[in-house]
Amino acid sequence: MTPDCVVAVGAHPDDAEFFAGATLGNFAAKGAKVFVVICTDGARGGAEAGAALAELRRVEAERAALALGIRPPILLGRADGALEADEPLRRDLVRELRRLRPTLVLLHDPSTWWTPLRERTQLGHSDHRAAGQATLDALYPRLLLAGFYPELAAEGLSPWFAREAWLFDTAAPDHFVPVEEPGAAAKRGALSCHESQHVGGLLRGAAEIEEAFGKPLGVPAEAFRRLVLF
Ligand SMILES: [Zn+2]
């Protein structure tokens, strides 16, 4: 079943498409409204760290969203490498989730310290864990209860609930989505937009994960831990 509206929350400008690009692209191709919220500015993701890199990564993220066939990205602009699941971040996420009203939210698994792949181990990123934790904290209980952030209700952003949360970037997946067309090509196109990030490495890394987590299906897959909330 295709959800009406999907929001993916990523820590960095390339995370949502890296971990879930084919799934997001296929949801969009089937008519879902798909949005990506990017928590940090990505300013440390390269040799020339700083404001110029952040601006470049903003442009790359916008191109990637176009390539994926989704809406323009929503940028929260936190400092790369220093993300914390603090109250201001939770509130910003509740604001976007109340505005967009998704039925499905995709997010980093906040418990990922490392992920065993076939021949090596991928260490988790502190920004990824913080983005995942803040998103879970937004989904419950802050998104639901009018007692949180009455100033948002005054802006017309009333409480909302998402029916499901799918955790990507997880070492404990239980839900596997085959990487099928047209989302597969859209994902490769989106990853190729992140030219500041060594596109070849992104494509190889994504393929490695798809292969490792696709074993239960026998075909490349994106992997999630699926939480049915309501
Ligand atoms: Zn990242």
Q: Could you report the per-residue pLDDT of 93-134, keeping only the tens digit for each?
A: 999 999 999 999 999 999 999 998 878 899 999 999 999 999
* Positive or negative: CA dihedral 11, 7, 225, 205: negative
Tell me the CA–centroid distance for residue 62 and ligand 1, in Å. 16
Domains and CATH numbers, the chain: 5-228 (3.40.50.10320)
Q: Please give the pLDDT value at position 124.
A: 96
Tell me the CA–centroid distance for residue 191 and ligand 1, in Å. 13
Q: Please give the pLDDT value at position 165.
A: 98
Tell me the CA–centroid distance for residue 85 and ligand 1, in Å. 15
Tell me the CA–centroid distance for residue 26 and ligand 1, in Å. 22
Tell me the CA–centroid distance for residue 14 and ligand 1, in Å. 7
Question: What is residue 228's three-state secondary structure?
Answer: strand
Tell me the CA–centroid distance for residue 127 and ligand 1, in Å. 7
Tell me the CA–centroid distance for residue 95 and ligand 1, in Å. 22
Tell me the CA–centroid distance for residue 15 and ligand 1, in Å. 5
Residues 197, 200: Cα–Cα separation, whole Å = 9
What are the tokens at 182? 């047209």
Q: Please give the pLDDT value at position 47.
A: 77
Residues 135, 137: Cα–Cα separation, whole Å = 5
Cis peptide before 220, with omega less than 30 degrees from 0?
no
Tell me the CA–centroid distance for residue 80 and ligand 1, in Å. 9
Tell me the CA–centroid distance for residue 12 and ligand 1, in Å. 4
Q: Please give the pLDDT value at position 49.
A: 79
Tell me the C-alpha to C-alpha distance, in Å, between residue 41 and each of 20, 86, 123, 154, 228: 20, 17, 21, 29, 31
What are the tokens at 32? 């879902």
Residue with token string 């992140």: 194
Residue 219 phi/psi, 5° resolution?
-140, 155
Q: Please give the pLDDT value at position 7.
A: 98
pTM, entire model: 0.97
What are the tokens at 155? 């802006």
E-strand ranges in the chain read 5-10, 33-40, 74-78, 104-108, 114-116, 121-123, 164-168, 175-178, 221-228
Q: Going residue by residue through the chain (230 aa), what tens digit of pLDDT does each one get?
A: 899 999 999 999 999 999 999 999 999 999 999 999 999 999 998 878 789 999 999 999 999 999 999 999 999 999 999 999 999 999 999 999 999 999 999 999 999 999 988 788 999 999 999 999 999 999 999 999 999 999 999 999 999 999 999 999 999 999 999 999 999 999 999 999 999 999 999 999 999 999 999 988 899 999 999 999 99
Tell me the CA–centroid distance for residue 128 and ligand 1, in Å. 6
Q: Please give the pLDDT value at position 108.
A: 98
- In the chain the first and final C-alpha atoms are separated, in Å, by 16
Residues 210, 76: Cα–Cα separation, whole Å = 28
Tell me the CA–centroid distance for residue 158 and ligand 1, in Å. 30
Q: Please give the pLDDT value at position 1.
A: 82
Tell me the CA–centroid distance for residue 43 and ligand 1, in Å. 12
